[in-house]
């Protein structure tokens, strides 16, 4: 187990920066998820940590040892990291036990000790007795567990997960998620978990690093990421946040300030020290929107109402901004229909900090 530090890490391919100036400090035993849309650089980041790619500039330290900087790079075989690959990467020509025991054999460990360790690892992932099977004869979930056992048998200082659930069907996913959480709890290993699935990241991680176009855009606890996105990208990426232009009317006072949105005033949460400004953005969630019961709020048109069982997803465009689409759910009984006029109200929101302010 070890702490992982990325210090201003940049990786360029020709003239394209796949990872740009990323600094993350992962505490010993922490579960960090790296989340982002495809092409955001998260896989490159994993390959940099594992040592398959060399950094262009910056430094990577594992447990205090420098493993990569612009001067050179320690080979992956000497980093003592474990990886669970997206497609498991089990060697088809070896049995399950041989797969798991491979790193012990490479390290020339005593055979009896190695056999015992393999047995223990198999037991840990509930695969007792399957040691002689070939990977081809296992189910998807079982292969995933063999991959887990294989990376844990060497007691790595750091475990990297590369979208490990992407190839599993939905219902296996949930159970594997539980399995990963239990794995983390049992071993206490530092984990870096790459994914594009935010519910997965939210469910598992202590902290989430959101990446976009090679940059780290926010590093925060799942709750904070949802409630206090640092910029527009995070706000709209996480849970389909709705972005609205707002004028900040008052300065921050105990974490709140008054803003004007779509012609009506409301109080939103904000960072300490916010001052009145024009052209700001607020992020609100569909749960923050409701049908106005009184004169407050704004008028508009229901563009589409899609009944989804128990509730309808309403797409609404306000009169003050006909190009905008606000979406929210109306539980049964659904009264809004296509083309209906309605008056909505925003209960709450989050004032996105001005660009350039530190998070």
Partner 1 sequence: MPTRIRESRGQEMVLTAAAAVVIVLLSMLPMLRLVKEIVAPGGILSTAAVEAGLRSPATWIATWHTLVVGIGGTLLAVLSGTLVAVLVSLTDIRCRSALVLCYVMPLMIAPQVTALAWLQLFGPASPFLKLFGAAPPLGTKNPLYSTSGIILLLGVQYGPLVFLLVRAGLRKLPRELVEAARAGGANWFTVLATIVLPLMTPSIMAAAALAFVSCVGNFGIPAFLGIPANYLVLPTLIYQKLAGGGPAVLGETAFLSVLIGMIAMAGILAQEVMSRRRDYRISSTSLPAEPYELGRWRPVVQAGMWLLIVLVLVLPLFGLVLTSLVPGYGIALTAKTATLDNYRFVLFEHDAATRAFFNSFWLSIAAAFFAVIVAVPVGYLIAWGKQRWVRLLNLSVELPYALPGVVLAIASLLLFLRPIPLTGIQLYNTVWIILYAYLARFLVLALRPTISGYHQIDRALEEAAQVAGAGLFTRMRTIIFPLVAPAAVAGGLLIFMTALSELTVSALLWSSGSETIGVVMFSFEQGGDSNYAATMSVVTVAVTFALMLVTNLLAPHLPNGVLPWRD
Among the listed ranges 89-97, 182-190, 259-267, 274-282, the one in contact with partner 1 (CB under 8 A) is 89-97
Q: Which long-range contacts (CB under 8 A, 24 or more apart) does 217-224 make?
A: 218/359, 219/24, 220/359
Shortest distance in whole angstroms from residue 160 CB to partner 1: 8
Q: By C-beta, is 97 or 336 nearer to partner 1?
A: 97
Task: Determine, following the binding rule CB under 8 A, whether residue 166 of this chain makes contact with partner 1.
Answer: no
Out of 1, 89, 172, 243, which residue is the one contacting partner 1 (CB under 8 A)?
A: 89
Q: By C-beta, is 57 or 296 nearer to partner 1?
A: 57
Out of 1, 28, 102, 166, which residue is the one contacting partner 1 (CB under 8 A)?
A: 102
Task: Determine, following the binding rule CB under 8 A, whether residue 82 of this chain makes contact with partner 1.
Answer: yes
Q: Would you list the DSSP string of 267-318?
A: EEE--TT----SSEEEEE-GGGEEE-SSS-SEEEEEEEEEE-SSEEEEEEEE
Out of 1, 74, 130, 311, which residue is the one contacting partner 1 (CB under 8 A)?
A: 74
Handedness of CA 114, 120, 124, 130 (dihedral sign): positive
Shortest distance in whole angstroms from residue 31 CB to partner 1: 19
Q: By C-beta, is 52 or 307 nearer to partner 1?
A: 52
Strands 215-220 and 256-261: unpaired
Out of 14, 107, 293, 355, which residue is the one contacting partner 1 (CB under 8 A)?
A: 107
Q: Would you list the DSSP string of 20-57?
A: EEEEEEEPTT-EEEEE--TTSSHHHHHHHHHTSS--SE
Out of 106, 123, 182, 335, which residue is the one contacting partner 1 (CB under 8 A)?
A: 106
141-154 residues labelled b (16+ CB within 10 A) or e (exposed): ebbbbbbbbbbbbb
Q: Which 124-153 residues touch partner 1, going by CB under 8 A? A: 150-151
Shortest distance in whole angstroms from residue 81 CB to partner 1: 6
Shortest distance in whole angstroms from residue 78 CB to partner 1: 6
Alpha-carbon span 161 to 15, nearest angstrom: 28
Q: By C-beta, is 27 or 106 nearer to partner 1?
A: 106
Alpha-carbon span 33 to 25, nearest angstrom: 12
Residue 253 is given by DSSP the state: B
Task: Determine, following the binding rule CB under 8 A, whether residue 154 of this chain makes contact with partner 1.
Answer: yes
Alpha-carbon span 134 to 113, nearest angstrom: 22
Shortest distance in whole angstroms from residue 88 CB to partner 1: 8
> How crowded is the C-beta side of 211, counted as CA atoms within 13 Å?
30
Alpha-carbon span 169 to 184, nearest angstrom: 22
Q: By C-beta, is 63 or 276 nearer to partner 1?
A: 63
Q: Which 33-62 residues touch partner 1, going by CB under 8 A? A: 50, 52
Helix residue spans in 125-272 (DSSP H):
140-152, 170-187, 198-204, 222-227, 232-237
Q: By C-beta, is 108 or 223 nearer to partner 1?
A: 108
Q: By C-beta, is 93 or 171 nearer to partner 1?
A: 93
Which residues contact partner 1 by CB under 8 A? 50, 52, 65-67, 71-83, 85-87, 89-93, 102-103, 106-107, 150-151, 154, 156
């Amino acid at each position: 187990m070890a702490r992982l530090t990325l210090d201003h890490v940049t990786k360029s391919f020709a003239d394209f920066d796949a990872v740009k100036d990323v600094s993350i400090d992962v505490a010993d035993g922490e579960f960090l998820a790296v989340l982002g849309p495809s092409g955001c650089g998260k896989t490159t980041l994993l390959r940099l940590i594992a040592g398959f790619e060399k950094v262009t500039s910056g430094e990577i330290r594992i447990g205090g040892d420098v493993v990569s900087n612009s001067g050179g790079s320690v080979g992956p075989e000497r980093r003592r990291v474990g990886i669970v690959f997206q497609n498991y990467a089990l060697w088809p020509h070896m049995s399950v036990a041989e797969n798991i025991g491979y790193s012990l054999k490479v390290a020339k460990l005593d055979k009896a000790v190695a056999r015992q360790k393999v047995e223990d690892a198999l037991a840990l992932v509930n695969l007792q007795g399957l040691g002689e099977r070939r990977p081809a004869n296992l189910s998807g979930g079982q292969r995933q567990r063999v991959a887990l056992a294989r990376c844990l048998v060497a007691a790595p200082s750091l475990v990297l997960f590369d979208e490990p659930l992407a190839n599993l069907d939905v219902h296996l996913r949930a159970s594997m998620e539980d399995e990963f959480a239990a794995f983390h709890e049992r071993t206490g290993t530092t984990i870096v978990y790459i994914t594009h699935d935010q519910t997965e990241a939210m469910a598992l991680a202590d902290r989430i690093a959101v990446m976009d176009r090679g940059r780290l855009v926010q590093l925060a606890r799942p709750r904070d990421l949802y409630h206090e996105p640092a910029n527009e990208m995070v706000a709209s990426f996480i849970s389909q946040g709705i972005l609205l232009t707002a004028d900040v009317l008052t300065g921050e006072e105990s974490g709140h300030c008054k803003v004007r949105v779509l012609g009506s005033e409301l109080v939103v949460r904000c960072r300490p020290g916010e001052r009145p400004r024009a052209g700001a953005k607020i992020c609100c969630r569909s749960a923050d929107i409701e049908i106005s019961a009184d004169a407050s709020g704004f008028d508009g048109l229901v563009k589409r109402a899609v009944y989804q069982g128990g509730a309808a997803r309403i797409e609404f465009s306000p009169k003050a901004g006909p190009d905008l689409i606000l979406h929210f759910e109306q539980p049964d009984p659904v009264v809004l229909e296509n083309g209906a006029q309605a008056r909505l109200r925003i209960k709450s929101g989050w004032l996105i900090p001005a660009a350039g302010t530190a998070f």
